[in-house]
Structure 1
Amino acid sequence: MPFESTKGRGATRNAGPVRFNLPERVSEGDWLDQVEALDGVPKRRTTVTVEHPKTILTRNSSPDIGFDRSVNAYRGCEHGCIYCFARPTHAYHDLSPGVDFESRLFVKPNAPQLLHSALSQPGYSCRPIAMGTNTDPYQPVEERWKITRALIELLLETKHPFTITTKSDRVVRDLDLLKEGAKLGIAAVAISVTSLDPNVSRIMEPRAPAGRKRIAAIAELRRAGIPCCVAIAPVVPQITDHELESIVEAAAKANASGGFYLPVRLPHEVAPLFRAWLDDHFPDRAGKVMSTIRSLRGGRDNDPNFFSRMRGQGAWADLIRTRFEIAAKRFGLAAAKFPLRTDLFLPPQGAQMRLL
């Protein structure tokens, strides 16, 4: 039984990361029963810890990912999406990929200064920087810390290309900066929309804005001339796949500049967390959901192999791909592209940031 209430959270468990032999987070003795009898189980509150990393630019050489560098201003994500492939990263901090991931957050207020330093290095070669690759840059904590906004200011100052992936309509707060980036041809946004059903979103992505709000954000960004694609990511068989066509239609009506989809991935600790979530919220179809996912993943809960991990395999993967292609053609949704300029980049001038 969990130590605190998980109501309002995505994960229903807070098990420790078994890969590192760390303990499961559970109560000891009968203290929890006493609390329930007297006052009820206390709510799990979100905590924020300031982190001071030495570097901020993360490099990757994955051949099936369209960027080779990224910046993440936060660790953990309060949106609480149960399927989030980034959950296992909390295990490296001796924290659970379960409820800890969405309630014990880390912020990196020196991220802009670290990025300034990285872009100033002699011989730095400019290629687009991706934001939102591990945790959402516009999750609720950004409202106070505004680290994402500061990073964008620096990228605009240096005319460095960047992409943003988010599940939040909070991105429109920075419309002024994104418009400037779009005019230069160095900014693009992808907004993830997984469901338009508020009941599904409430339990699958409990602290992320509703799908309709994200569609509205796409429309607002496009009216401002900002490239913005829809990412139907992930598609969860037997839970959200029936909405594929309706999401494509809604995105097309919002004038999305393109779109793509990704089948659900369940790496490492995400798989048992997802199974527990299914047992709690969809006990009538839990077995069917996992059976379909395994058919997509070569008989396993997860396929870590390059390329196939992004597309899936087998009959179900073919069906989802065909449905997406037919819907995109029917509603006029182009394939997602992010053609950004790299020739405008000017290394930061001086040792200190001008804007901060």
Structure 2
Amino acid sequence: MEHSSKIKGRGAQKNVHNRFLQDAHEVRSDFLEYCHKEGEEADTNKTKYINVFPKTIVNKVKSPDVGMEYSLNPYQGCEHGCIYCYARNSHEFWGFSAGLDFERKILVKQNAAQLLEATLKKKSWQACPIVLSGNTDCYQPAEKKLQITRSLLKIFLKYKHPVAIITKNSLILRDLDLLKELAKYNLIGVNISITSLSEETRRAVEPRTATIKKRLETVKTLAENGIPVNVMLAPIIPSINSHEILPLAKKVSELGATSIAFTIVRLNGAIGEIFTDWIQKTMPDKATKVLNQIESCHGGTLNYSRYGHRMRGEGKIAEQIRNLIQLARLKYFKNKKMPKLNTTLHEQYKNGQYSLF
């Protein structure tokens, strides 16, 4: 029995070996055949939530080319299942696979708000923007019920501390009340990821994310409420969404976005194997072309981690993409830029309320 059918609602189509583990897990054809004969499911494809209680929650970002100093991730793993996600590799540190495990075994940091509050109250802490979702999306499906991100925003507001958000989920609008309050003090910046205007492309590449229509509406609603929005055209994948740069930029500019940013897809670590397997099953007619073009942007390899080049790529195709981004900025975002977040208020609120003395 061949196990070649596509797993619905998921990006990755298999679990790849965790490089940190000695043992490997293999789904054998004889096991699948046995399940078939017995009328049992070999794989329920259900998402499992695992509560964890870390000792710290704010991470110092050491990478010089990601544009943030501190990040906070209330969840590890992400049910959105974006096939290209660079965060997949981090799931290996928790003992899981970067493939299906990343989408189906979600670690939930139940004590995130308490840890954040303890950090912001430290005498030694100096206000600096903390980015929610530096790794995995803080508004992934679990957030609808658990509301950990909302609890974090309440802490940021209480202590008048700057926070930035990266998400591709319209669920962020649930917290519009808190975002508007933060915006009054210039304490919030939102980055919405939109990789395509095509629902067909979105469903294939980002299976459990908000629809393109909802994401565009999110940009519009945030902008109308005075919340600065940067749209992440990320990642740009040659021959999948690279032709959409100008139409995307035009559309989000019309909806009120303040700026755009981009990265070129990079398939480092286990992601190269996961993406290759996915595209051969999902887009077999263009798989070779896409993979070759990605390699041409990264020195002839899918596994590329060189600082200063890994995000922007190199070579002719990467140069063309950068030129299109530059043109889009000149045409649709001239004299626009994201405001610098306010770091001056927090010191007065370290005790949880404004100090007059």
**Partner SS, residue 172 of structure 1:** helix
Aligned to 1:108: 109
Higher deviation after alignment, 102-111 or 295-304: 295-304
Q: Which residue in the other structure is 1:94 paired with? A: 95
Alpha carbons of structure 1 residues 112 and 284: separation in structure 2 relative to 1, 3 Å? same
Report 1:123-142 matches (<5 A): 123-142=124-143
Q: CA RMSD in A?
A: 1.9
Deviations 1:300-335 (A, max 9, x none): 213212221121111111100111222333334666
The unaligned stretches of length 5 or more in structure 1 are 351-356
Q: Is the 8 A contact 1:6 1:43 kept in 2?
A: no
**1:303 equivalent in structure 2:** 304
Corresponding position of 1:277: 278
Q: Read off the aligned partner of 1:235 and give its amino acid letter.
A: I
Shift of the 2–76 alpha-carbon distance from structure 1 to 2, 3 Å rule, reads farther
Tell me the equivalent position of 1:60. Answer: 61
5+ residue gaps, structure 2, are 353-357
Alpha carbons 1:297, 1:312 under 8 Å: kept: yes
Q: In structure 2, what is the Cα distance between the partners aligned to 1:160 and 1:211?
A: 31
Change (3 A) 1:267 1:334: farther
Tell me which residue corresponds to 2:176.
Answer: 175
The 5 A counterparts of 1:138-157 are 138-157=139-158
Residue 35 of structure 2 is matched in structure 1 by 35
For 1:205, the equivalent position in structure 2 comes to: 206
Cα offset for 1:160? 0.4
Q: Distance in 2 between matches of 1:112 and 1:2?
A: 43
After superposition, give the CA deviation of every residue in 1:2-55 in whole Å (9 maximum; x if it has no partner). Answer: 7997321000111222x2244443335723113234356543100101100011
* 1:20 maps onto 2:20 in alignment: yes
Q: Which amino acid is the alignment partner of residue 25 of structure 2?
A: R
Report whether the alignment pairs 1:349 with 2:321.
no
2:248 maps to which residue? 247
Following superposition, the deviation at residue 144 of structure 1 comes to 0.8
Looking at structure 1, the residues matched to 236 and 335 of structure 2 have their Cα atoms a distance apart, in angstroms, of: 19
Q: Residues 154-199 of structure 1, C-alpha deviation per residue, up to 9 Å, x if partnerless?
A: 0011010010000101111110000111110010000000112111
Matched residue type, 1:9: R
Q: Per the alignment, in what secondary structure is the counterpart of residue 163 of structure 1?
A: strand
1:230 partner letter: V
**Aligned AA for 1:231?**
M
Q: In structure 1, what is the equivalent of residue 326 of structure 2?
A: 325
Structure 1 residues 110-147: Cα deviation after superposition (integer angstroms, max 9, x where no partner):
00101111112222111100111110000000001101
Give yes or no for contact 2:139–2:149 (8 Å, CA) kept in 1. Answer: yes
Q: What secondary structure does 1:308 align onto? A: coil
What displacement does 1:92 show? 1.5
Secondary structure (helix, strand or coil) at the match of 1:301 reads coil
Q: Are the aligned partners of 1:116 and 1:348 in contact in 2 as well (CA < 8 Å)?
A: no
Partner residue, 2:355: none
Do the aligned partners of 1:257 and 1:334 also contact (CA within 8 Å) in 2? no
Q: 1:335 to 1:290 in 2, by over 3 A?
A: farther
Deviations 1:253-287 (A, max 9, x none): 11101111110011100010000011101111211
Partner of 1:339: 340
Contact 1:193 1:214 in 2 (8 A): yes
Query: By how many angstroms is 1:337 displaced?
Result: 3.0
Matched residue count: 349
304-313 or 24-33, which deviates more: 24-33
Q: TM-score scaled to structure 1, two decimals?
A: 0.93
Aligned mates of 2:282, 2:291 — CA distance in 1: 14
TM-score normalised according to structure 2 size: 0.93
Q: Is the contact between residue 4 and residue 41 of structure 1 (CA under 8 Å) also seen in structure 2?
A: no
1:15/1:23 CA distance change after superposition, 3 Å: farther
Asked if 1:314 corresponds to 2:306, the answer is: no
1:162 corresponds to which residue? 163
